[in-house]
Structure formats: structure tokens, C-alpha cells
């Protein structure tokens, strides 16, 4: 990959940290847009260029985008950060809608525009689709997260009016040994009380963190790829299958299910992403010959949980 000058938002998160490391190892010049430069430098000590980023004030950082080859936009409030109420739902929506709109509009105004604008999104775009197979052509759902993702992608697409390639990465449930969904699921299994969440029949669109980072690098350099890209394994499983496989890898039972009403009591409407059924296939990646390192769940879990 030829060396590129890249702006990244959300660089201190799970995906951002791994992506910055991979891009830095390839010799790219990275500029981090962050709300907390001190924290950014602590988390990413191998990087040197940090810009104070208040997404509500584009006039303060617009010039830092000039002459860059790519913008990768990962920033957004954590969907599972707090129990959902109307105020937190506004934060979830605003941190994506306003930030993405201002960043995309800034790109449009540049004299030297980037070749590509890559924005994070999520499989939440599709809502609950039961057993139906989901590809990038599947329509959006009609729940809150689907609306968030639809608006998120709409704002990102503003760059297309100035001929900048736009890619929205619709990410599945990221499996990592660092943090995220998998780490939260481990404790009950290790205490011998693990099992599926909800009725277990819902489809679980997972992705190994290493493959997700490789997807970002793949779409960065493949100019033929634009629009929405499903970033999930080509072999989704049901929640029951996920729990069974996780139990097998950990040598623990997997039959202590957590009923839907318990999840709703604990998480309120925030239980929605866990209970949704999304049989997502990465059709666009498959069509473009992307090769997954971890296409099956058991090998993915073994790589993350069983250290050699």
C-alpha cells in the first residue's frame, strides 16, 4: 500500500487504536482528531500529530483536512455506554449526525480534497429481519438504531457531491480479547452460568477484530468499493450457536439462558441490539475477493481466548 496522509476521528476507541497501529506500521502519516489530546497521546504514544477536535466548530480544524489522502471517521457515543433514556438517545444520535455532517461538509469545502471518506456505521441499520438473509441492498429497519445508522450514512454521503468516494462500514458485533461484547459475555461462562441471551434464535452477525481492521485497510485502497459495506463474518450464527461454541472453547456449560424480559429490565430499550435477529452477509466484500482470516466462529474464539 502506498503511503497515505490520513485523518482519523475516534482513534482512541477499540477499532481506532488497532487501526492506527496498523496504518502506522505501514508508514502512513496519521493525524488524530480528538476531544482530549492528552488522553490521545497516552493511548497512542507512537503517533505525533493530534488536533483538538470540537465537531461543532469546523472553522477551528477545517484546514487540517487539506491535502490529506483519506478521512476515516469512527467517532460516536457508545451505544452501550449508559441505559437508554431520551437524553442519552439524543447524545447517540447527535454525536453521529452533527459530527458526520460537519466533517463531510468540511471535506466538500476543501481545495485539496481526500480521495476517500470512510465512515463507521453498523448492522443496526437493518433492524430486526428474522431469518431473512441481509446484504447491502436490504432496506433499513424502522427502530431507533436503524434510524441512527440511516442518518449517519446520509450525512457521510454529502461528500459524494464533490466526487469524493464514500464508504460506510456497517460493522457487526466485534469480537476482541481487549474489550467489547465478548469480554462482557465471558464472566457468566467462567462462573459456569453462561448461555444464550434472549430466546437464542436471533442471528448474531459477528466479526473478528483483526478482520475488521483488514476490511478498513482493504476499502481504503480499493477504489472500486463505495457506499455501504457489511463488515461481518460470512458465517453468521444464531445466539444459541454462539453460546454453545463459546462454552465449548471455554470448556463450560452454555444452557443458562438469560430471558428477554430480564435483558429488558436490565438494559431497557438498550437491549434492542442484543435481541435483534440479523443474518448479515458481507456480499460486497465477497464480490471484491476479500479473504477473511476468521470466517468461522470457533477458530475466531480460539484465537482470542486460548493463548499459546
State if pTM tops 0.85.
yes
Domain total for the chain?
Answer: 1
Q: Per the domain annotation, does 245 fall within a domain?
A: no
The whole domain housing 155 covers 5-176+207-232
- Do the beta carbons of residue 104 and residue 71 sit within 8 Å? no
Q: Per the domain annotation, does 301 fall within a domain?
A: no
Task: With H, G, I as helix, E, B as strand and everything else as coil, classify residue 277.
Answer: coil
In this structure, the dihedral spanned by the alpha carbons of residues 190, 196, 198 and 201, taken in order and rounded to 10 degrees, is 170
Residue 300 CA: distances (Å) to CA of 119, 200, 214: 25, 20, 15
In tens, the pLDDT along 192-249 reads 777 777 788 999 999 999 999 999 999 999 999 999 999 999 999 998 998 899 999 9
In tens, the pLDDT along 59-97 reads 999 999 999 999 999 988 777 666 667 888 888 888 899
Q: Per the domain annotation, does 31 fall within a domain?
A: yes
Q: Per the domain annotation, does 187 fall within a domain?
A: no
Q: Which among 156, 170, 272, 147 has a CA at the least distance from the CA of 230? A: 170
In this structure, the dihedral spanned by the alpha carbons of residues 88, 90, 92 and 95, taken in order and rounded to 10 degrees, is -130
In tens, the pLDDT along 143-196 reads 989 999 999 999 999 999 999 999 999 999 999 988 777 887 787 887 777 777
Residue 252 CA: distances (Å) to CA of 38, 150, 246, 274, 293: 42, 39, 8, 22, 26
Q: Per the domain annotation, does 86 fall within a domain?
A: yes
Rounded percentage of the chain residues whose pLDDT exceeds 70: 92
Q: Per the domain annotation, does 81 fall within a domain?
A: yes
Q: What nine digits make up the cell of 4?
A: 497515505
Q: Per the domain annotation, does 200 fall within a domain?
A: no
Q: Per the domain annotation, does 254 fall within a domain?
A: no
Sorted by sequence, the CB contacts under 8 Å of residue 291 that are 6+ apart come out as: none
In tens, the pLDDT along 36-67 reads 999 999 999 999 999 999 999 999 999 999 99
Q: Domain containing 114 — which CATH number?
A: 3.40.50.720
Amino acid at each position: 500500500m502506498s503511503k497515505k496522509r490520513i485523518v482519523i476521528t475516534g482513534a482512541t476507541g477499540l477499532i481506532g487504536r488497532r487501526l492506527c497501529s496498523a496504518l502506522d506500521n505501514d508508514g502512513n502519516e496519521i493525524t488524530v482528531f480528538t476531544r482530549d489530546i492528552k488522553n490521545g497521546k497516552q493511548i497512542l504514544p507512537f503517533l505525533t500529530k493530534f488536533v483538538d477536535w470540537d465537531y461543532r466548530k469546523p472553522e477551528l480544524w477545517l484546514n487540517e483536512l487539506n491535502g490529506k489522502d483519506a478521512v476515516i471517521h469512527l467517532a460516536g457515543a457508545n451505544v452501550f455506554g449508559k441505559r437508554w433514556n431520551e437524553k442519552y438517545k439524543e447524545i447517540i444520535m447527535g454525536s453521529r449526525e452533527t459530527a458526520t455532517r460537519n466533517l463531510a461538509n468540511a471535506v466538500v469545502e476543501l481545495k485539496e480534497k481526500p480521495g476517500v471518506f470512510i465512515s463507521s456505521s453498523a448492522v443496526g441499520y437493518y433492524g430486526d429481519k428474522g431469518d431473512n438473509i441481509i446484504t447491502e441492498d436490504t432496506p433499513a429497519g424502522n427502530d431507533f438504531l436503524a434510524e441512527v445508522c440511516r442518518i449517519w450514512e446520509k450525512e457521510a454521503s454529502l461528500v459524494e457531491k464533490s466526487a469524493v468516494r464514500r464508504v460506510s462500514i456497517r460493522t457487526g458485533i466485534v469480537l476482541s480479547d481487549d474489550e467489547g461484547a465478548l469480554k462482557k459475555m465471558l464472566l457468566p461462562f467462567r462462573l459456569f452460568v453462561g448461555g444464550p441471551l434472549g430466546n437464542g434464535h436471533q442471528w448474531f452477525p459477528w466479526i473478528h477484530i483483526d478482520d475488521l481492521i483488514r476490511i478498513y485497510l482493504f476499502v481504503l485502497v480499493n477504489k472500486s468499493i463505495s457506499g455501504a459495506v457489511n463488515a461481518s463474518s460470512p458465517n453468521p450464527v444464531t445466539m444459541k450457536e454462539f453460546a454453545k461454541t463459546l462454552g465449548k472453547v471455554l470448556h463450560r456449560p452454555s444452557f443458562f439462558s438469560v430471558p428477554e424480559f430480564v435483558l429488558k429490565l436490565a438494559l431497557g430499550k438498550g437491549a434492542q441490539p442484543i435481541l435483534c435477529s440479523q443474518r448479515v452477509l458481507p456480499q460486497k466484500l465477497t464480490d471484491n475477493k476479500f479473504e477473511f482470516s476468521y470466517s468461522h466462529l470457533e477458530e475466531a474464539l480460539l484465537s482470542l481466548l486460548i493463548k499459546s
